[in-house]
Structure 1
Amino acid sequence: MSGIKPEQLEAKLNAVFAPTRLEVIDESEQHRGHGGWREGGGTHYRVVMRAPAFAGMSRVQRSRAVHSALSDELAGGVHALALDLAPPD
């Protein structure tokens, strides 16, 4: 059983935040043998996102907003999510 596909995360984040920059990087292979890892990847992700929606939000608020938007994916296959979030430069 493989985890969540990056395209699924990208679609959800694009729909919710309309970012000006979005990178969804599957880092699962770097975590082989660690908790939550599964053959086929899709368990450990890094998200780099710049979105106007983050203006005026603290780092914690931005993180909570992304976790809320991806709640189904976090409950259903994504084990770890590293976030680099900010409003556009």
Structure 2
Amino acid sequence: MTVAATPLGPEIHRRLADALSPTALEVVNDSHHHTGHLGDDGTGESHWTVTVESPAFVGLNRVARQRLVNQALADLLSSRIHALAIRARAPGEGHGPL
């Protein structure tokens, strides 16, 4: 599979869905806020926020949760994603709607 040939938003969503079986998942492209900044590669797909709720996060601290997300997106983080904000929670943790 050639990662560069895939639109990044759906690819991020698919990978997180496959890896974490989330009960809720939101992938937001924030690249337009960073146009012309360091890390803007001109693709319009360099800066992202993911909000994910998954049973895989039960009992894990924030760092362990972020590691699971980073593992699912490892090759994208090294090649196509310049910045990734992660909001990760377990089901039932009350941080408002996604």
Larger Rg: 2
Structure 1 position 70, deviation (Å): 0.6
- 1:40 maps to 2:46: no
Gaps of 5+ in 1: none
Which residue of 26, 30, 33 maps to 1:27?
Answer: 30
Contact 1:31/1:44 (<8 A) preserved: yes
CA distances 1:34-55 after superposition (whole Å, capped 9, x unpaired): 1111223110000000000000
Q: Which runs of 4+ in 1 moved over 3 A?
A: none
- RMSD of aligned C-alpha atoms? 1.6
| TM-score normalised by length of structure 1 | 0.92
Gaps of 5+ in 2: 93-98
How far apart, in 2, do the equivalents of 1:4 and 1:63 lie? 23
Paired position in structure 2 for 1:75: 78
Contact 1:4/1:73 (<8 A) preserved: no
